[in-house]
Structure 1
Amino acid sequence: MKSDLNYRHLYYFWVVAKEGGITRAAERLSLAVQTVSSQLTLLEQSLGKALFSQQGRRLVLTEAGRVAMNYADQIFLLGLQMQEAVSEADSGRIRLSVGISDSLPKLSAYRMLEQAMKIDKKVRLVCYEDQFEALLADLALHKLDVVLTDREVQPGSALKVFSHQLFESEMLVVGVPGLAADYGKDFPKNLNGAPFLLPTRNNALRGKIDEWFLQENVKPDVVGEFEDNALLSTFGRRGLGLFFAPAALAGEIEAQFGAVQVGAVPGVREQFFVISNERKIKHPAVEAILATAAAELYNGAGIAP
């Protein structure tokens, strides 16, 4: 094997692997199929290993190809990060791209990002909201620096990402003062028939809420179910139903949505996670968030009453 490596050939290999075939890779690269194919052959000859095997109409990575792909991912994704860092250099700011799970309360997201905005360097925050699985995929591809969510990555995941619990909180049933006055007495027995705004069933918290209703023999009148927690809270502010909120954010919930406590639900706890990936060059804002998570959990401060 030659000691020098042609990085253009390696880049073509990387694109072919990403696209799943030479034809699609050639379209993405705006090159002739023959050009990409010949460059790939030169790379395989240089490495002395076949990087792909043919399965039907699709190219599949060999074991050597998977090893090469692992390194190519790191090389070219690091290159993308370098381009972003260089483009931000003159502004005096560093870019922090954050994925926020659509089920995560936005006040919780703010709480989780506070430390990132307090580091010595100026930070330009770019936030994207999407479903949990889509955000994890973007994080694994280094399109995001960190993901904030209410669930952890399941063990055995093929993605090279890591969950860090930042804090957890018991939940409260809250509502506008008029509803709170109607349903605050003899809690939770008098919640039968009470109007409730709930997260949809794909939300990590919903199963815990349904279980609590069963345990307390409460049959609520579910007047709305929401994917977006911010929309749920907006309907709650209008007095259309009671809703659940983290006790750790009770003050902010009252100030922003005018919702006061109807009763505490200690058996239902919501967890908040920061999910990061492997980086060769550490992002100072992400490191600040992770350091806060580690310190708060170590000191017990991350578990709100």
Structure 2
Amino acid sequence: MNLKHLHYFWTVARTGSVAAAAERLHLTPQTVSAQIKLLEGSLGTPLFQAAGRGLKLTEAGRLAMSYADEIFALSDALKASLGRQRGAPAPPFRVGISDAVAKNIAYRLLAPVTQLPEPVRLICHEGKLDRLLAELALHRLDMVVADRPLPSGIRVRGFNHKLGESEIAFFAAPRLARSCGKFPACLNGRPLLLPGEDSTVRSRLEQWLEAERLSPRIVGEFDDAALMKAFGQAGQGFFPAPAVLAGEVEAQYGVREVGRTEAVREAFYAITGERRITHPAVLTITEAARDSLFID
């Protein structure tokens, strides 16, 4: 297989048309089309089919694209590694973090990247999951950290890598915590702060409260978990957080854990454009999470 032909195919797949790929490659559309025909001939199968004014991948094309992504990711890693030997700046590692993921969790997941033997420049972007996945599809992000797997039905090519999960604990300012008797019954009729509706764990918490026949007073809903904890620190209500962070939450906000439940668990995922992880930073994150962060 001619890798130059594979690169032309990869560029057309990423841009969506021969014309756009030709412009990026500084070639004529006729040349690009001819080279892709040669690649299809060598593979013995068509890789594209017409879709309106553009092209879309066939089933074989999608399979070829997954391998091409890995091949060129390794190529980039090779060039970056050799470049660092010549004193070039560290390559960027761009991560999207869903705003439903607690900042403490995000930090603990990404911290091992700073200890890589081959340094990278960590660039973090926070936002709604759908926008981050769109950036991942455009290869503007290397990885997305989320509290849910890639949603079904979304037209984004990506692969889920589960990092781990944690049961949910409840916390409160010391005075409010002292008034809490037997958990979880002590939440009944009491003020409760909840994550916003975009958070996957929100619906699970509501189902758990209903199953336990508890009716707390919902006094606040927050997309930003740090803001929810700040309100909890001020004594405005009980609030949930991953139990794996219990020690940090108590130390940082001066609150106390009042109880936890195995019935509600929050999971975390790395979503990447590659089925088999080859990026060293992503490998480090997934291995560290499974080996040390999310241990029951």
TM-score between both structures, scaled by the size of structure 2:
0.75
Once the 2 structures are TM-superposed, how far is the Cα of residue 224 of structure 1 from its aligned partner? 2.2
Task: Report whether the alignment pairs 1:43 with 2:35.
Answer: yes
Alignment correspondent of 1:196? 192
Deviations 1:1-51 (A, max 9, x none): xx756x3x655544433333345556x6396xxx64212332145344765
Alignment correspondent of 1:19? 15
Aligned-partner Cα distance in 2 for 1:147–1:56 = 30
Q: Which one of 193, 205, 209 corresponds to residue 209 of structure 1?
A: 205
Contact in 2 for aligned 1:12/1:36 (Cα 8 Å): no
Aligned-partner Cα distance in 2 for 1:202–1:129 = 14
Aligned-partner Cα distance in 2 for 1:283–1:71 = 14
Consecutive aligned runs of 4 or more in structure 1 exceeding 6 Å deviation: 154-158
Once the 2 structures are TM-superposed, how far is the Cα of residue 172 of structure 1 from its aligned partner? 1.9
Contact in 2 for aligned 1:101/1:129 (Cα 8 Å): yes
Contact in 2 for aligned 1:153/1:163 (Cα 8 Å): no
Alignment correspondent of 2:176? 179
Aligned-partner Cα distance in 2 for 1:56–1:292 = 45
Once the 2 structures are TM-superposed, how far is the Cα of residue 243 of structure 1 from its aligned partner? 0.8
Aligned residue identity for 2:212: E
Q: Which one of 24, 28, 36 corresponds to residue 29 of structure 1?
A: 24
Alignment correspondent of 1:302? 295
Q: What's the RMSD between the two structures over aligned residues?
A: 3.8
Once the 2 structures are TM-superposed, how far is the Cα of residue 130 of structure 1 from its aligned partner? 2.9
Aligned-partner Cα distance in 2 for 1:97–1:79 = 18
Aligned-partner Cα distance in 1 for 2:103–2:276 = 30
Contact in 2 for aligned 1:77/1:141 (Cα 8 Å): no
Once the 2 structures are TM-superposed, how far is the Cα of residue 105 of structure 1 from its aligned partner? 1.5
TM-score between both structures, scaled by the size of structure 1:
0.73
Cα 1:13–1:36 shift into 2, 3 Å? farther
Once the 2 structures are TM-superposed, how far is the Cα of residue 79 of structure 1 from its aligned partner? 4.6
Alignment correspondent of 1:244? 240
Alignment correspondent of 2:124? 127
Contact in 2 for aligned 1:193/1:220 (Cα 8 Å): yes
Once the 2 structures are TM-superposed, how far is the Cα of residue 244 of structure 1 from its aligned partner? 0.3
Aligned residue identity for 2:146: T
Aligned residue identity for 1:29: R
Aligned residue for 2:200, secondary structure, equals: coil
Once the 2 structures are TM-superposed, how far is the Cα of residue 132 of structure 1 from its aligned partner? 3.5
Where structure 2 has 5 or more consecutive residues not aligned to the other structure, the ranges are none
Task: Report whether the alignment pairs 1:163 with 2:155.
Answer: no
Tell me whether 44-53 or 154-163 shows the greater mean CA deviation: 154-163
Aligned residue identity for 1:164: K
Contact in 1 for aligned 2:16/2:55 (Cα 8 Å): yes
Aligned residue identity for 2:287: A
Cα 1:145–1:53 shift into 2, 3 Å? closer
Aligned-partner Cα distance in 2 for 1:219–1:113 = 37
Aligned residue for 2:267, secondary structure, equals: strand
Where structure 1 has 5 or more consecutive residues not aligned to the other structure, the ranges are none
Aligned residue for 2:266, secondary structure, equals: strand
Alignment correspondent of 2:96? 99
